[in-house]
Amino acid sequence: SMLKDALDAFTRGDVALAGLMAKPGEPEGTARADRFRWNLADQRGVLDGTPFVVVTQGDSTITAPRIVLESPEIIVLKGPKQVYLRQEREGRVETVAATCEGDLVMDPSAGRIAMRNACLLRTPDFAIRADRVDGILDPRTRGIESFRAAGRVRTVQARDGAVILGSRLAYRPATGELT
């Protein structure tokens, strides 16, 4: 119907969106995709890209073949995905890389990230694999403030190659504390 057409914004081709995940004083995020669909009534949308949708914000990059915008705040990455978060810690800039086989849900407004199924998280200090990873984002930097991993946890420390195995792990990058 004409009303439905008016409520659904639909674009095909070379799509570029700006203003994603922006906070005052920060660079705004931009997305490049092949297709974009936004439902005004539900405030939900989908970005599709072949091979990937690419979202950048400053030096951070997100790639996934499908990104579902569950709301103006909640982003769900579908399919093979890669997230590179550049963050400043103790006066140095470092990259945190994250991927998982299941959905990766980012809610910057609530300061949360959730990863499911065959998760891999890499920092300059270690690499961690787990069935599930739930993180809290630093409200200032949007980098990872802390996270908890659960289910078949395997951590390898970069400096000495030490391996930690377990069913649960909590990590706080600011202090380097692993529990």
Give the residue, 164 or 20, on which the prediction is more confident.
164
Determine phi and psi for 24, rounding to 5 degrees: -55, 135
Read off the pLDDT of each residue in 34-38 and give the average, rounded to a whole number: 91
Q: Is 62 exposed, middle or buried (0-12, 13-18, 19+ CB in 10 A)?
A: buried
Q: Where residue 26 falls among pLDDT bands split at 50, 70, 90? A: low
Closest to 64 in 3D by CA, of 38, 87, 83, 45: 83
d(CA 54, CA 60) in angstroms, rounded, equals 11
Q: Residue 3: is its pLDDT beyond 60?
A: no
CA 6 to each of CA 29, 83, 110: distance values in angstroms, whole numbers, following the listed order? 26, 34, 31
Is the distance from CB of 68 to CB of 48 less than 8 angstroms?
no
Out of 8-17, 74-83, 123-132, least confident range: 8-17
pTM of the model: 0.82
